[in-house]
Structure 1
Amino acid sequence: MFTRYCRSMLCTPATATDRYANCHRSAADICLVDLEDSVPPQAKAEARARASAFFTDQSAAGRRCAVRINVISDPDGVRDLLALRDYPVPPSIVLVPKVESPRDVEIVARLLRPVRPDLDLCVVIETPRGVENALAIAAASPRPRALIFGSADYASALGIPLRWGPLVQARSRLVNAARAAGVEAIDSPTFHLQDLSALRREAVLAQDLGFSGKIALHPHQVGVINEVFSPDAESLEAARRVVAAGQRSGQGITTVDGVMVGRPFFEASQRLLDEFDPSG
């Protein structure tokens, strides 16, 4: 079994209760019910009430289930936080949108940790100020579990196209901040739901930048995302050879398959095996 925190996170609107079971039955690492962007303003109260069933439905058993709340500076965000405290099964993962300072993380944790001490917070970085403060946010106390890039809102704020090239600098800064703080980095969705080749291309580019996973908007995107963010058998075998070579050389410089390798190679290969090697 792999131990990576999240390769794929499948998002479902809170108002679409008929999709809850399909989300839970998907191969997504985390199942997410959304109270924010996918819910129109007039349906926020209804969504808030319905979303509690996402965590109590029989199909949720054994799944890691999350909720994305509204912006905490908005009245609906405050209502979401208060409602989550009274859910029969409080969510173990909460996504906090449009985070711009460590204080945002602290507020959510202070309200929810008393009812869910093991709560994981994943913060969405999707504004220019959020990108500027990404390192401070990633290192906040309590530390979030992951930074998530919100490409659509960020592109809109800058008035730039929602394409990979114009957004690569922001993505790189987010990944660097996350890794500097020792937390995960998860990429934004691919919005072309039927174009799986575009999804694959973007997922590969995200992985190359250092993201460990990606948001999915439809169940059929999950398989592609999981595949891209998981090593194949050949990659795992290569990692085993590198780790073994490091052990033989006492972590000194050596060669594997004609390639010079040293400590960074040994450490990267060991991390890969720790996350994905079923043989342990």
Structure 2
Amino acid sequence: MKFTRYCRSLLSTPAMAVERYARSHQSGADIAMVDLEDSVPPACKEEARQLAGEFFALPSAKLARSAVRINTISGPDGLRDLIAIARYPVKPDLVLIPMTESPRDVEIVAGALGAACPDTEYLAVVETPRGIERAPAIAAAGHRLRGLVFGSADYAFSVGARLSWEALTHARWRVVNSARDAGVEALDSPHFEVSDLDGLRREAALARELGFSGKIAIHPGQLPLINEAFTPDAALLERARRVVEAGRRNGRSVTVVDGVMVGMPFFEASQRLLEQFDTDRADHTNHAGHSDHADRNEDRT
């Protein structure tokens, strides 16, 4: 199983905020997303889905992966979103599927967009008690599903929990474990207090320690901290190279590196780290990681 540098950060931009489209692509986020769901009032949904097509056609869209979050497919707006996306001249790289509660939700989106959007991939947002319970099955829904996204606010409100890290640790762990078992990414929910950069730094560090691939940003000012939290520094990469080299020299048997006993789990973790973030291998890694992911999911079908 390989993890690729796919989504350290995702910046969400309301579909009605057309003046922010280009800045979103230029923000430094790994994924720039236009939102048709929560940030759009009900009366503006149709206008928003028409405007959102421009998000993917801008020249700046080539600077980051471009995504769209649709409305829930259990309602008419979600279905209308899929019809509109299929007609966009330029297709999104990713579609975020909110309120995902079963693999069938992913299958419906894939069926609706498949022929019109053959290269579009999906991220499933798990944010309800049923979604959390079914996260393992959702994560294995198909080879074009690239990750799970934890929706903390909807989940916390639905179970009556506080919107705090401690209260939601178990739900987060289940998202990460389900995603990693399926060989896909895990993206953490936003830190909603935009001006609380210390809180964001703490939450991003905890998310990284738990195994998340990245975190959603709701303001461009949050991106530097998020990208930093999910990017290893030079010293960590250098240590990973030493661990990998020691494993090669010793036939991957137990050995000592920098005074620490290391074995197979250390070798594999260090290799994954280099595959993600060694810039000399970035192009090869992204391609290899995608292929490995597809093969793993196809084996499950």
TM range (shorter): over 0.9
- Supply the AA of the counterpart residue of 2:11: L
Report the alpha carbon displacement of residue 3 of structure 1 after superposing the two structures with TM: 4.7
CA distance in 2, matches of 1:141, 1:242: 34
Report the alpha carbon displacement of residue 159 of structure 1 after superposing the two structures with TM: 1.0
Residue 34 of structure 2 corresponds to: 33
Matched ranges for 1:115-264 at <5 A: 115-264=116-265
- Alignment length (residue pairs): 279
CA distance in 2, matches of 1:3, 1:124: 19
Report the alpha carbon displacement of residue 143 of structure 1 after superposing the two structures with TM: 4.9
Q: Please, what TM-score do these two structures have when normalized by structure 2?
A: 0.91
Matched ranges for 1:47-62 at <5 A: 47-62=48-63
Report the alpha carbon displacement of residue 272 of structure 1 after superposing the two structures with TM: 0.4
Residue 94 of structure 1 corresponds to: 95
Report the alpha carbon displacement of residue 142 of structure 1 after superposing the two structures with TM: 4.5
Contact between 1:106 and 1:142, CA under 8 Å: does it hold in 2?
no
- Supply the AA of the counterpart residue of 2:251: G
CA distance in 1, matches of 2:62, 2:110: 25
Task: Deviation per CA, 1:18-40: give whole Å up to 9, x if none.
Answer: 11111011100010000001111
- Supply the AA of the counterpart residue of 2:192: F
Task: Deviation per CA, 1:121-179: give whole Å up to 9, x if none.
Answer: 00000000000000000111355100000000000101111000010000001100001
Report the alpha carbon displacement of residue 60 of structure 1 after superposing the two structures with TM: 1.6
CA distance in 1, matches of 2:251, 2:172: 36
Residue 17 of structure 2 corresponds to: 16
Q: SS of the residue aligned with 1:279?
A: helix
CA distance in 2, matches of 1:25, 1:279: 23
Residue 4 of structure 1 corresponds to: 5
Task: Deviation per CA, 1:227-279: give whole Å up to 9, x if none.
Answer: 00000000001101101111111000000111100000000001001110123
Residue 299 of structure 2 corresponds to: none
CA distance in 2, matches of 1:234, 1:189: 28
Gaps of 5+ in 2: 282-301
Q: SS of the residue aligned with 2:166?
A: helix
Residue 291 of structure 2 corresponds to: none
Residue 104 of structure 2 corresponds to: 103
Q: SS of the residue aligned with 2:168?
A: helix
CA distance in 1, matches of 2:145, 2:211: 18
Residue 289 of structure 2 corresponds to: none
Residue 296 of structure 2 corresponds to: none
Task: Deviation per CA, 1:198-224: give whole Å up to 9, x if none.
Answer: 111000000111001000001111111
Determine if the alignment matches structure 1 residue 44 to structure 2 residue 67: no
Contact between 2:124 and 2:145, CA under 8 Å: does it hold in 1?
yes
Contact between 2:11 and 2:33, CA under 8 Å: does it hold in 1?
yes
CA distance in 2, matches of 1:46, 1:156: 29
CA distance in 2, matches of 1:143, 1:89: 18
CA distance in 2, matches of 1:95, 1:148: 9
Contact between 1:30 and 1:65, CA under 8 Å: does it hold in 2?
yes
- Supply the AA of the counterpart residue of 1:59: S
Residue 280 of structure 2 corresponds to: 279
User: Identity of aligned pairs, percent?
Assistant: 62
Matched ranges for 1:64-83 at <5 A: 64-83=65-84
Gaps of 5+ in 1: none
Q: SS of the residue aligned with 1:106?
A: helix
CA distance in 2, matches of 1:25, 1:207: 24
The Cα RMSD (Å) is: 1.1
Report the alpha carbon displacement of residue 76 of structure 1 after superposing the two structures with TM: 0.3
Q: SS of the residue aligned with 1:147?
A: strand
Contact between 1:23 and 1:31, CA under 8 Å: does it hold in 2?
yes
Report the alpha carbon displacement of residue 43 of structure 1 after superposing the two structures with TM: 1.0
Regions of 4+ moved over 6 Å: none
